[in-house]
């Protein structure tokens, strides 16, 4: 079971970081206590992983075949990439790190499912775009409904808070369903775990990250979104959830952070204001390129390092 440690660490850091995208707004604005948000997120992540995690696990497993040692190398390379890029302050997507690491192993084995890889790459490009489109559609439809209800201040407050909790819970479900593959899919490919075990261990490690270390990240990430009015913040969280869930149904793990940026951009387009800086967009493009490349190179480097042999001089 020690072989799973790299994946568990990856799941833990994913939970600590990505829960902020779904509950950061509510917690940092004190609409919801951290304990309540973390408990809801942890529960729904595990439910999501168990209910719908299978499809993305199948996609990642199908990218290449690998043995147990290669699976461990892939998960350690992905975890190290995420940690190193976070420490360097660079934007990083766990999904992209994992796919990069699998790509490295696939290159070594000379066996790569190009169709699967193309599907994944297209979905990465489509994540922020999907987030933006979904935000625009939801803003208009929910906005029309909201205006027709003629709510007073307290009713509006009540329903917005409730909707944000429900949207956050749905977002956590989508996060678990989509991103659990990043954590344990390589071990399914290596034959160490079956899909149910992978979803349970992956969901559990993401939940552990949420419960133990997501508070500071929620406070930091959430503040970036609080600048939006409460209705727009709700639309952003709901767009993230729907977009990530959509890609879950396609079986492709994507970045929740990029879905959030896309949704915020969509709100900005509707309101005619600049909600996302050019620097943020540049960072996303950089992350698309840099994260899988670094992870791929790292998995190759670890593989070669672990296969070095001492040849005594004759």
- In the bound state with another protein, the residue whose beta carbon lies nearer, of 271 and 307, is 271
Q: Which stretch binds another protein (CB under 8 A): 67-75, 145-153, 244-252, 279-287?
A: 145-153
- In the bound state with another protein, the residue whose beta carbon lies nearer, of 5 and 226, is 226
User: Using an 8 Å Cβ cutoff, are 42 and 66 in contact?
Assistant: no
163-188 exposure pattern, b = at least 16 Cβ within 10 A, e = fewer: bbbebbbbbbbbbbbbbbbbbbbbbb
Enumerate residues 122-141 that contact another protein by CB under 8 A: 139
CA distance 9 to 45: 16
Measured over the CA atoms of residue 258, residue 260, residue 264 and residue 270, the dihedral's sign is positive
Enumerate residues 187-226 that contact another protein by CB under 8 A: 226
User: Using an 8 Å Cβ cutoff, are 47 and 200 in contact?
Assistant: no
Give me the least distance between CB of 169 and another protein, in Å please.
Answer: 12
Among 151, 208, 250, 293, binds another protein (CB under 8 A): 151
Give me the least distance between CB of 60 and another protein, in Å please.
Answer: 37
Give me the least distance between CB of 270 and another protein, in Å please.
Answer: 10
Residues 6+ apart with CB under 8 A from 311: none
Residues 6+ apart with CB under 8 A from 225: 24, 25, 233, 236, 260, 264
Contact between 278 and another protein per CB under 8 A: no
Contact between 231 and another protein per CB under 8 A: yes
Q: Please give the structure tokens belonging to residue 76.
A: 């350690």
Give me the least distance between CB of 17 and another protein, in Å please.
Answer: 24
Interface with another protein (CB under 8 A): 29-31, 139, 142-144, 146-147, 150-158, 160-162, 165, 226, 229-231
């Amino acid at each position: 079971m020690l072989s799973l440690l790299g994946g568990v660490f990856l799941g833990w850091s994913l939970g600590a970081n990505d829960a902020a995208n779904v509950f950061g707004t509510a917690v940092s604005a004190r609409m919801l206590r951290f304990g309540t948000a973390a408990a809801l997120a942890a529960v729904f992540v595990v439910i999501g992983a168990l209910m719908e995690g299978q499809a993305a696990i199948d996609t990642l497993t199908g990218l290449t075949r690998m043995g147990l040692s290669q699976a461990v190398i892939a998960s350690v390379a992905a975890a190290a990439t995420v940690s190193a890029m976070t420490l360097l302050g660079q934007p990083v997507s766990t999904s992209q790190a994992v796919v990069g690491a699998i790509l490295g192993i696939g290159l070594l084995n000379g066996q790569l499912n190009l169709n699967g890889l193309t599907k994944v790459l297209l979905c990465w490009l489509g994540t922020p775009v999907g987030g933006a489109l979904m935000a625009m559609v939801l803003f208009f439809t929910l906005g029309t409904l909201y205006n027709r209800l003629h709510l007073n201040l307290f009713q509006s407050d009540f329903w917005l808070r409730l909707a944000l909790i429900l949207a956050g819970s749905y977002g956590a479900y989508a996060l678990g369903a989509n991103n659990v593959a990043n954590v344990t899919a390589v071990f399914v490919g290596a034959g160490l775990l079956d899909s149910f075990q992978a979803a349970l261990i992956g969901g559990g490690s993401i939940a552990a990250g949420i419960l133990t270390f997501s508070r500071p990240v929620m406070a930091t990430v959430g503040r970036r979104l609080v600048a939006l009015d409460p209705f727009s913040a709700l639309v952003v969280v709901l767009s993230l959830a729907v977009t990530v869930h959509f890609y879950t149904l396609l079986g492709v793990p994507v970045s929740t952070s990029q879905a959030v940026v896309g949704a915020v951009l969509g709100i900005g387009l509707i309101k005619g204001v600049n909600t996302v800086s050019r620097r943020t967009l540049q960072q996303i493009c950089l992350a698309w390129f840099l994260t899988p490349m670094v992870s791929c190179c790292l998995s190759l480097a670890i593989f070669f390092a672990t296969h070095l042999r001492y040849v005594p001089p004759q």
